[in-house]
């Protein structure tokens, strides 16, 4: 096969974009910080004072339920000298959030209440030194955050996913378990892999045994920034698969047995954490074994994907792979994903350097 682009083909993105630190930093600002990202689930922050801390777009943040019942999000950063305010991953904070460094204290709504023992007179206006806020919103029991404030509200960002998934009992399902893995794989390589089933027959025997992958559909909602995959249950198979992928990396994997809700936390060029939560209708002790089997079945598919992607990333890093052609039959959504990347990065501007097609 010729390695020069043919007009009839779409091509993968240049390999350098999966390993270049400058490009990654641009992605962080132009993509990760601008979009809503899955952060936690509502049950974890049900009562005033409940918080969950984590990282969004590389920024340490936390969400906290206020005394007024409003869920807010803040940078996990004291305005004095930048210390992390909440060290644990989750819990309930006191009436005040007291910085562990010099004890500045903030109210649950983010106001600076006291610059403890700062000096005889506070030489600045405390109202200007509240916690730096991020956007937070809830949807059907899931909590999302966004670093850059303003812009599309969560529901419009989700677009038609909101109505397309409305028959699925998401909010009545209960949390069962988490699976997290840190891997040397770029977030884009993971997204592209998710968005084609060209590899399913070769790589996912248990997925193929469960679903009729000869009759799956994969639709690109280009303007709305999401993808929808649907696979019917195979005769005698395990489940249907109803999948939504909202760019850049929200994954709602909805099955008859429960849901596998996943996201990616990019950690650097060519590095990411895959975060996966499993929810079931019945999480009683009697169901524990069956639920674990379903979660393991789903996790196995991710394990298979990450296994091949580690090898892909090594070749991208090594500088041997440049780019390859995309299958017109199976990889149209990969092209759709790349279009979203290009558009978000501003083709021709910033760090994204894509060869003309
Ligand atoms: S850094 Fe928080 S009080 Fe000094
Ligand atoms: Fe896969």
Cβ–ligand 1 distance for 104 under 6 Å, the answer yes
Domains of the chain: 37-147 (2.102.10.10), 160-345 (3.90.380.10)
Residues of the chain with pLDDT under 70: 1-8, 120, 347-357
100 lines ligand 1 (CB under 6 A): no
Q: What is the pLDDT of residue 81?
A: 97
28 lines ligand 1 (CB under 6 A): no
Q: Ligand 2: distance of its center to the CA of 18 in Å?
A: 19
Q: Cα separation of 252 and 260, whole Å?
A: 7
Of all protein residues, the one whose alpha carbon is nearest to atom 3 of ligand 1 is: 102
114 Cβ closer than 6 Å to some ligand 1 atom = no
How do residues 87-133 score in pLDDT, each as one tens digit?
999 999 999 999 999 999 999 999 999 998 888 677 778 889 999 99
Which pLDDT belongs to residue 349?
A: 39
Measured in degrees and rounded to the nearest 5, phi and psi for residue 134 equal -120, 165
pLDDT of amino acid 123: 75
Closest CA to 261 of 35, 38, 33, 31: 38
Closest approach atom of ligand 1 to CA 78: 2
| 226 neighbors 233 (Cβ within 8 angstroms) | no
Ligand 1 atom at shortest distance from the alpha carbon of 104: 3
Among protein residues, the one whose CA lies closest to atom 1 of ligand 1: 81
pLDDT score recorded for residue 329: 94
DSSP state of 31: I
Among all bound ligands, the one having the nearest atom to the CA of 251 is 2
Report in angstroms the alpha-carbon separations of 281 from 173, 287, 299. Answer: 4, 10, 18
Distances 78 to 86, 118, 177 between C-alpha atoms, Å: 10, 14, 32
Give pTM, 2 decimals. 0.94
Question: What is the per-residue pLDDT for 2?
Answer: 45
In 3-state terms the chain splits into helix, strand, coil percentages (rounded to 5) of 30, 30, 40
- CA of 229, nearest ligand number: 2
Residue nearest to atom 4 of ligand 1 (CA): 102
Length of the chain: 357
Distance 103 CA to ligand 1 centre (A): 6
Tokens of 223: 């303007």
d(CA 314, CA 152): 37
Instruction: Confirm or reject: Cβ of 97 under 6 Å from ligand 1.
Output: no
CA nearest neighbour of 241 among 212, 206, 279, 270: 212
Q: Which atom of ligand 1 is nearest to the CA of 83?
A: 1
Q: How far is CA 79 from CA 114, 125, 210, 261, 294, in A?
A: 12, 13, 52, 34, 45
Q: Is the CB of 78 under 6 A from ligand 1?
A: yes
Answer whether 83 contacts ligand 1 (Cβ < 6 A): yes
């Amino acid at each position: 096969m010729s390695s020069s682009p043919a007009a009839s083909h779409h091509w993968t993105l240049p390999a350098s974009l999966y390993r270049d630190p400058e490009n990654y930093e641009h992605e962080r600002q132009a993509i990760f910080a601008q979009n809503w990202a899955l952060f936690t689930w509502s049950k974890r922050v049900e009562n005033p004072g409940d918080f969950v801390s984590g990282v969004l777009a590389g920024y340490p943040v936390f969400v906290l339920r206020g005394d007024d019942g409003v869920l807010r999000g803040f940078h996990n950063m004291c305005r004095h000298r930048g210390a992390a305010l909440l060290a644990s991953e989750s819990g309930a904070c006191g009436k005040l959030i007291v910085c562990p460094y010099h004890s500045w204290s903030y109210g649950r709504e983010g106001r600076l209440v006291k610059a403890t023992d700062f000096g005889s007179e506070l030489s600045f206006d405390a109202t200007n030194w509240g916690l730096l806020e991020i956007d937070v919103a809830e949807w059907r029991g899931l909590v999302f955050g966004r670093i850059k404030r303003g812009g599309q509200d969560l529901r419009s960002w989700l677009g038609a996913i909101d109505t397309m998934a409305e028959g699925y009992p998401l909010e009545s399902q209960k949390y069962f378990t988490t699976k997290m893995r840190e891997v040397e794989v770029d977030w884009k390589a993971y997204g592209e892999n998710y968005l084609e089933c060209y590899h399913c027959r070769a790589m996912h025997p248990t997925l193929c045994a469960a679903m009729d992958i000869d009759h799956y559909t994969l639709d690109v909602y280009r303007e709305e920034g999401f993808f929808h995959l649907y696979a019917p249950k195979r005769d005698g198979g395990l489940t249907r698969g109803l999948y939504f992928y909202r760019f850049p990396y929200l994954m709602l994997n909805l099955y008859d047995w429960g849901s596998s809700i996943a996201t990616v936390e990019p950690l650097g060029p060519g590095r990411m954490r895959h975060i996966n939560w499993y929810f079931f209708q019945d999480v009683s002790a009697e169901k524990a074994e069956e639920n674990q089997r379903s979660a393991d079945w789903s996790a196995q598919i991710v394990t298979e994907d990450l296994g091949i992607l580690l090898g892909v990333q090594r070749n991208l890093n090594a500088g041997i792979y440049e780019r390859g052609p995309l299958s017109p039959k199976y990889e149209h959504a990969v092209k759709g994903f790349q279009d979203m990347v290009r558009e978000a990065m501003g083709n021709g501007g910033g760090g994204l350097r894509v060869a003309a097609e």
